[in-house]
């Protein structure tokens, strides 16, 4: 029961969807955490906020909020997206820090593994909800109209060509942020499986969780495949010498594929199977379809990103930006993160983003680099992989220091690692 509460609390924080009466799910997570502390006879865990790592991130978030306002002010801009993002990140980070004692559950010497396990199960739950919403359309429509009314209105008025099945996730940000967060979850999933004789996710539960998360990526967006690629490279780097392990993993993969193949052709209704074949697969695996049909491993979005989304900027833009995103500037509209970072605030703002992002990684990277054990090396590469991942995502869309669901996850991972580090000292 307690583990289920942990998963629910993290779900409410990371996916941050609208709720009646309490405004959004983050506030509900704080309420549930408070009830838990009260029922256990504990005081409000203020000590979590006094940890230097957590405090530095909260202060850094407030400073980024002020930096965003500064560029709005000097350019007399009405572009408040960054300002809203940092208000949201501040609220989500506060809720994450507040929930940490609940998530760790007194297991400080295994704090990182405990938090990773909860996050992985959280994304498996999201994958289950999203898949159920797609397979059973009334359930998906209920999620869309109840928790994403703005998206529902956008689609119903014909203002979007977005595939409808992407909208059936129970999440406040479903188009880029959700698949980006899935990528983080996959990196954490494989970190857990690098632990020898680990008992966190084993047996068929491991297959089920992987499958649900993979379905979540297929239904939400291809960005998650970047995280899967990094997670596989990370896992292979630490296990490629273990031939027996690789053979076992290959056999597991074959078994999982056969089970999914049987389920797809014999358990799914014909209409649902047709929907996967005509809508989901061409969207999720567009790079494969293009390679099969044209001999090019690419997608329409990556082609457009490489050919039209990056262009030269004026000197005044590079040094101070314009306080707006590219779609409201003198430049062509671009989704590219690096372009929008510079158009908004030039190099000064871009450097602030890097410094803020490093607040999540500098201490974990330094601490893990001081260790001499294999576990320390795996932790070092874990945080390095997560850092590289966010820089890669920023090539596609504004990600660096600004994807709220990913920032909350990074805080949970970094803070739990530091807790474990000092518990084992």
Segment 215-270, tens digit of pLDDT: 999 998 888 999 999 999 998 888 876 666 667 667 777 777 777 777 777 777 78
Q: Rounded to two decimals, what is the model's pTM?
A: 0.92
Looking at residue 175, its pLDDT comes to 83
**Angstrom distance (rounded) from CA 221 to CA 228:** 12
Would you say residue 374 lies in a domain?
yes
What value does the CA radius of gyration of the chain take, rounded to a whole number of Å?
A: 22
With beta carbons less than 8 A apart as the criterion, state whether 78 and 396 touch: no
Residue 137, Cβ density class (10 Å: 0-12 exposed, 13-18 middle, ≥19 buried): middle
Q: How many domains does the chain have?
A: 1
Would you say residue 282 lies in a domain?
no
Residues in the chain: 425
Looking at residue 157, its pLDDT comes to 67
pLDDT < 50 regions, the chain:
none
By residue range, what is the domain housing residue 321? 2-267+299-423
Looking at residue 215, its pLDDT comes to 92
Looking at residue 425, its pLDDT comes to 66
Looking at residue 149, its pLDDT comes to 75
Would you say residue 284 lies in a domain?
no
Looking at residue 40, its pLDDT comes to 79
**Angstrom distance (rounded) from CA 339 to CA 325:** 9
Would you say residue 279 lies in a domain?
no
Looking at residue 84, its pLDDT comes to 92
Looking at residue 114, its pLDDT comes to 93
Would you say residue 40 lies in a domain?
yes
Looking at residue 265, its pLDDT comes to 73
Would you say residue 316 lies in a domain?
yes
Would you say residue 44 lies in a domain?
yes
Would you say residue 286 lies in a domain?
no
**Angstrom distance (rounded) from CA 101 to CA 108:** 9
**Angstrom distance (rounded) from CA 45 to CA 54:** 13
**Angstrom distance (rounded) from CA 369 to CA 197:** 24
State the CB neighbour count (10 A cutoff) for residue 37. 17
Q: Which residues, including other chains, have CB under 8 Å from residue 192's CB and lie 6 or more apart?
A: 113, 116, 117, 120, 198, 200, 201
């Amino acid at each position: 029961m307690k583990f289920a509460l942990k998963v629910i609390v993290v779900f409410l924080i990371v996916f941050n969807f609208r709720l009646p009466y309490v405004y959004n799910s983050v506030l509900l997570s704080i309420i549930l955490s408070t009830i838990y502390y009260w029922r256990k006879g504990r005081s409000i865990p203020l000590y979590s906020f006094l940890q230097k790592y957590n405090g530095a991130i909260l202060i850094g978030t407030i400073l980024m909020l002020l930096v965003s306002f500064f560029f709005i002010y000097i350019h007399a801009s009405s572009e408040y997206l960054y300002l809203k993002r940092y208000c949201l990140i501040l609220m989500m980070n506060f809720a994450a820090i507040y929930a940490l004692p609940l998530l760790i559950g007194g297991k400080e010497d295994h704090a990182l593994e405990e938090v990773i396990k909860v996050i992985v199960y959280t994304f498996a739950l999201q994958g289950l909800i999203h898949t159920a919403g797609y397979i059973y359309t009334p359930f998906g429509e209920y999620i869309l109209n109840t928790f994403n009314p703005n998206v529902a209105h956008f689609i119903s008025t014909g203002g979007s060509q977005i595939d409808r099945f992407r909208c059936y996730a129970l999440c406040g940000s479903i188009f880029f942020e959700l698949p980006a967060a899935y990528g983080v979850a996959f990196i954490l999933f494989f970190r857990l499986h690098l632990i020898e004789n680990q008992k966190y996710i084993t047996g068929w539960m491991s297959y089920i969780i992987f499958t649900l998360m993979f379905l979540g990526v297929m239904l939400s967006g291809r960005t998650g495949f970047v995280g899967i690629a990094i997670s596989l490279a990370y896992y292979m780097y630490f296990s490629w010498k273990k031939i027996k392990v690789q053979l076992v993993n290959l056999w597991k993969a074959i078994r999982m594929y056969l089970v999914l193949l049987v389920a797809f052709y014999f358990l799914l209704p014909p209409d649902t199977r047709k929907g996967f074949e005509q809508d989901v697969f061409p969207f999720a695996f567009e790079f494969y379809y293009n390679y099969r049909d044209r001999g090019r491993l690419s997608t329409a979005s990556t082609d457009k990103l490489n050919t039209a989304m990056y262009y030269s900027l004026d000197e005044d833009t590079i040094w101070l930006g314009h306080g707006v995103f590219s779609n409201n500037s003198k430049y062509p509209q671009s989704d590219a993160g690096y372009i929008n970072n510079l158009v908004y605030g030039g190099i000064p703002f871009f450097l602030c983003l890097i410094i803020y992002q490093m607040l999540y990684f500098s201490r974990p990277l330094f601490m893990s680099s001081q260790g001499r054990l294999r576990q320390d090396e795996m932790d070092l590469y874990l945080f390095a992989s997560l850092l590289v991942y966010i820089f890669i995502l920023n090539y596609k869309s504004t990600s660096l220091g600004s994807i709220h669901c990913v920032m909350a996850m990074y805080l949970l991972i970094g803070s739990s690692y530091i807790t474990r580090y000092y518990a084992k000292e």
